[in-house]
Structure formats: structure tokens, C-alpha cells
Amino acid sequence: MPKHAIHPTAIVEPGALIGAGTRVWAFVHLLAGARVGRDCNLGDGVFVEGGARVGDRVTVKNGVMLWDQVTIEADVFIGPHVVFTNDRTPRAAFKKPPARFEPTRVRRGASIGANATIVCGVTLGPSCFVGAGSVVVDDVPAHALVVGNPARQKGWVCDCGETLDDGLACTCGRAFVRRGARLQRRR
């Protein structure tokens, strides 16, 4: 496996870490301190700030910016032009140090559709699905399908990404049971 592939127009500052097998495409900028895992794909125009963390096997499509205090776990899909924030009360004249930014976590297997906005301070649960154009202002439970502005839950999704039926079963053969506000895989 190649160490990694970096397009000649990409800027990878000294101190940025890139895992084996990761592909860094045109006009990507990784600041010092940024960490990107193994076997990732960073599309054109992606920006990763020094305090951002990206897990293994993550796809980040074109035009996404990952700021300080944004953590992306393994196997996440981030659609084109998804927007993350890290400060709920920004002011140009009153700069905050990164330690005061609000952390955002995208858990393993989550998917975020194109042009969604993820307001800082939230956690997107494992295998959740955020619809294109949605604005997420609250935590999203595992396997939840959320859409709209503000994003609200409209259903449940399987690990494979398909919408679950009313019996919480998927066409792929997986089935789930509801435990309060959470789903658990049926054994």
C-alpha cells in the first residue's frame, strides 16, 4: 500500500499527519497539527485546521472545511460543501483561543449530505444520516435520519445507509429493536 497520495497543488504544512493509503486531491490545505487517518479521500478544496481530527476510511467531498475541535471518527461520509462551525458567538474584534471553541464529534459510520450545516457543540451518533441541506443544532441519535432546518428526526437508517421500515428492518437483512430513544441491532 502506498504511504499516501498528495496532488501537486495541495498544501500539507509540516506537522500535519496523513495516514497510509490516504488520497489528498487538488487544492486541499492541511494545517500543522491536522490529523487524517488511513485510507481517507479528501476531495478538491478541503481545508483541515490544526485541531481537527479525521479517522480512518473517511470520505470528505469537495469544499468541506474542518475546523479546530471537529472530530470525525472512522468510516464517515461528508458530502460536498458541508459546513462545520466551532464558535456559536463569533466576533471579529473578540477572538477566542481554540481551547474555548465548542467541540463537534461525528461518530463512526455517520453520513452527512451535501450542503448540510453542523453547528458546533453537537454529536452526530454512529450510523446516523443527515439529509442534504439540513441544519443540525442538536445531537443526533445513532441510526437517526434527520432533515430540515432545524434538522428533525424523520426515521431510522441501517448501518448500510438504507431507511428502515416500520418494523425497523432493512432490505439488507439487518433488523433493529428500539430501546427508549435508541436503536439496538437485533441478534
pLDDT-above-90 percentage for the chain: 91
Q: What does the mean pLDDT of the chain come to? A: 96
Q: What's the CATH code of the domain at 35?
A: 2.160.10.10
Q: Identify whether 91 is part of a domain.
A: yes
Query: What pTM did the predictor assign?
Result: 0.95
Cα torsion angle, 153, 157, 162, 163, sign: negative
Per-residue pLDDT tens over the stretch 105-139: 999 999 999 999 999 999 999 999 999 999 999 99
Q: Identify whether 180 is part of a domain.
A: no
The whole-angstrom separation of Cα 104 and Cα 119 is 8
Secondary structure (3-state) at 98: helix
Q: Identify whether 177 is part of a domain.
A: no
The whole-angstrom separation of Cα 161 and Cα 16 is 31
Per-residue pLDDT tens over the stretch 28-85: 999 999 999 999 999 999 999 999 999 999 999 999 999 999 999 999 999 999 999 9
* Domain extent at residue 111: 4-159
Q: Identify whether 182 is part of a domain.
A: no
* CA of residue 106 relative to chain centroid, distance: 5
The whole-angstrom separation of Cα 50 and Cα 46 is 13
The whole-angstrom separation of Cα 112 and Cα 105 is 12
Q: Identify whether 175 is part of a domain.
A: no
Q: Identify whether 124 is part of a domain.
A: yes
Considering only CA atoms, which of 10, 110, 181, 93 is closest in space to residue 84?
110
